Each structure stands twice: as C-alpha cells, then as structure tokens.
Amino acid sequence: MTVSAKPTVTPRRSMRNKRSPLASAGLHAALIAAAAVAVFPPLWLLVTSFKPKNDAFSTGLVTHFTFANYSHVLADTEFLTWFRNSVIIVGATTVLGVFIAATTGYAVSRFRFPGMRPLMWLLLITQMFPVAVLIVPLYNLLASLNLLNQPAGLVITYLTIAVPFCAWMMKGFFDTIPVEIDEAGRVDGLNPFGTFWRLVLPLARPGLAVTGFYTFVTAWAEVAYASAFMTGEENLTLAGGLQTFVNQYTNDWGSMTAAAVIIAVPAALVFAFAQRHLVSGLTAGTTKG
C-alpha cells in the first residue's frame, strides 16, 4: 500500500544506453538552477540575520559578522514569551492530536461499524473547509466560552485542522499491521482497548511519530486563527509575533531575520525526520479508501 515511497528501486536504466555528455550537462544545469532557486531564500535569510541592522539589505555576504540581531530579539522583545506560548500550544495539540487520531484510525482500520463510512467522508471533507466559513462563528464560540487569548482555545481549533488528516494517515499505518496480532491479543483475553494500547500501538510507533511531526509542523506554522484569536503582545504565538517586526509602520528586518531563523530551525529538524513518511502516508490515505 505504501509501495509508492519504497526506495527499493532496481536500477531501471541499466539497460539503457548511457546519456550523451551534453544531455548530462543539461540535466545537471537544470537541477542546479532549480536547487539554487529553492535554497536561495532560506539561505539569504540566514545570511542576513548575521548582518548588522543597518546592512540588512546590503547585497554582499556578511562583512561585519554579528550576533546583535539575535541578542536583541532574545533580550529586548517579547520573543521568548511568544516562543513559550507556541511551545505550550503546539505541544498540547501534538499530544492530544496524535492520541485522538490513533484511536480513530484504529477503529476505522479494524472494525466495521455503523457510521464508519460517513465518518471517513467527514474526515475527508473537513480538510476542505475554508478558514473563512468557520473563523467568525468560532471566534464567537470561543468568546462565549472565554477562550479567546487562551492557549486552550487555539489548541482545540488546531485539533480540527490536524486530526482529520492524521486519522487517515494512522488508518494507513494500522492497515499494514497484521490483524493476527489483534486476534492473538483477543485469544489471550485482552479487550479491544487492551489490544490497541498494549499490542498495536507500540507497533505503530513510526506512524505515531510521523503523525506527531505533521501536527507539530502544521500548528507551528498556522497564521489565520492565531492572528484572529490571540491579541495583545503577551498572548501572541510566533506567527503573530513575527508580524509585529514587519508591519505598515515598523520595518525591523534585522530582528525579523534573527527571529525567523530561531523559529525555522526546530521545525526544519522535525521536518527532516518526518518528510519521507509524510507523503507515503498521504498518498496511501487518500488513494486507498
């Protein structure tokens, strides 16, 4: 089912004639150009963050290497507060989201129960909902529950973004675990929850990791809800906070670049772990109902 991502490809071109040197050069030139376009913006961000504030837009590489932007961001702005807010919100979302997605994925993968088909559809369709339909009613709902400017409000909102997709991915992972394991657990007297918790979940650990990474990355980078529901400097998350460096009135590009680098690094590391499995989970989940 996840054949598409298996790297076990036999070298299929072995029988083919060798490429001509010209074709080879063209291939490399095209790939180098594409790679340069892909890498340049993040690289430039990194370079700029080490330049003194007034040189932020100089075209050269770093001439006066400095950590001033970083120390300014960490010491003189609310950055650490935003970072803490984001960590709390994203952490809670990830833990809750993975757990909920796992139980749902397991139920959908193993049991045939009334309401299963509508549920699968529901999970697929919710990915389609535009922020715009939900955001106002959700804002009012959170306001009436006193959850505006509260981490909990954003956490439950993010769950609705991440969980449907994650549940599909977890279903894909559970589908690859042999049903015999469940049956063995049943024979040994475990109830369905015991089987799930003690036998199947440990085996699905790679799947859990990937779902966790996905939830983390999604929540870490969310903008619309965070901008609408969180106001006041001390309540912002990173996505909202970064907007305060560069808006209509102030353009503090130096701080912006340093903050951006600090935000991007953990996400990029997490991503590096997850990316290979992401797409196999995705295509498995969506092409095989």
Partner 1 sequence: MTFAVRVRRAFGTHWYAWTMVAPVVLVIGVIIGYPLVRGVFLSLTDANEANVERHIGVNHLPATYKFTGLDNYQAVLSDSVFWDRLGWTVLWTVGCVSLTFLTGLALANMLNRTLRGRTFYRLALILPWAVPAFISIFTWRMLYNEKNGILNKLLAGGGIDAVPWLNDPTWAKLSVIACNVWLGVPFMLVALLGGLQSIPGELYEAAEMDGANAWQRFRNITVPGLRAVSSTVILLSAIWTFNMFPVIFLLTRGGPGDATEILVTYAYRLSFIDSPRDFSASAAWGVLILVLLSLVAVVYRRALRKQGEVW
Cα–Cα dist 285/146, whole Å: 36
Residues from 81 through 120 that contact partner 1 (CB under 8 A): 100-101, 103-104, 106-108, 110-111, 113-116, 119
24 or 71: CB nearest partner 1: 24
Cα–Cα dist 10/102, whole Å: 34
Cα–Cα dist 143/149, whole Å: 9
Q: C-beta of 135: minimal distance to partner 1 in Å? A: 7
Cα–Cα dist 104/98, whole Å: 10
Residues from 203 through 232 that contact partner 1 (CB under 8 A): 217, 220-221, 223-224, 227-228
Helix (H/G/I), strand (E/B), else coil: 251: strand
115 or 178: CB nearest partner 1: 115
> Which of 123, 154, 230, 258 touches partner 1 by CB under 8 A?
123
CA distances from 19 to 22, 23, 25, 27, 32 (A): 8, 6, 10, 10, 18
Residues from 221 through 280 that contact partner 1 (CB under 8 A): 221, 223-224, 227-228, 239, 242-243, 246, 253, 256-257, 260, 263-264, 267-268, 271-272, 275, 278-280
Q: Does 184 bind partner 1 (CB under 8 A)?
A: no
Cα–Cα dist 215/90, whole Å: 8
Residue count at the site for partner 1 (CB under 8 A)? 104
Cα–Cα dist 74/72, whole Å: 6
Q: C-beta of 81: minimal distance to partner 1 in Å? A: 18
For residues 286 and 168, the answer to whether their CB atoms sit within 8 Å is: yes
Tell me the per-residue interface mask from 42 to 81 with partner 1, x by CB under 8 A, - otherwise: x-xx--x-------xx-x----------------------
Q: C-beta of 189: minimal distance to partner 1 in Å? A: 15
44 or 65: CB nearest partner 1: 44
Cα–Cα dist 59/215, whole Å: 37
